[in-house]
């Protein structure tokens, strides 16, 4: 599974947000509530995040919208 698969799942579920963290499974915000997806190993989440984020972002919050516009 890659980041585009997770984004498709989020879109199909009607999620407003997809949260990725090394300590947690990917989370979807659906109607204001956080819903976990399938469990991921820390290395899998790290790989997913680094597709869209690199070392210059550090530990900052990083977001991107459905159109691919990003913001730190």
Average pLDDT value for residue range 10-24: 86
> pLDDT of 38-63, one tens digit each?
777 777 877 777 777 655 555 555 55
* Domains of the chain, CATH where assigned: 3-54 (3.30.450.90)
Higher pLDDT, 10 or 20: 10
pLDDT of residue 16: 92
Please tell me the number of Cα atoms within 13 Å of 20 on its side-chain side. 24
| d(C-alpha 8, C-alpha 2), whole Å | 10
The pTM is what?
0.63
Q: How far apart are CA 3 and CA 11, in angstroms?
A: 12
**Residue 26 pLDDT greater than 70, yes or no:** yes
């Amino acid at each position: 599974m890659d980041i585009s698969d997770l984004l498709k799942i989020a879109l199909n579920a009607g999620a407003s947000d997809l949260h990725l963290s090394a300590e947690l499974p990917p989370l979807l915000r659906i109607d204001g509530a956080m819903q976990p997806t399938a469990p991921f190993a820390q290395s899998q989440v790290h790989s997913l995040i680094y597709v869209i984020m690199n070392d210059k972002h550090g530990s900052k919050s990083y977001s991107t919208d459905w159109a691919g516009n990003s913001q730190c």
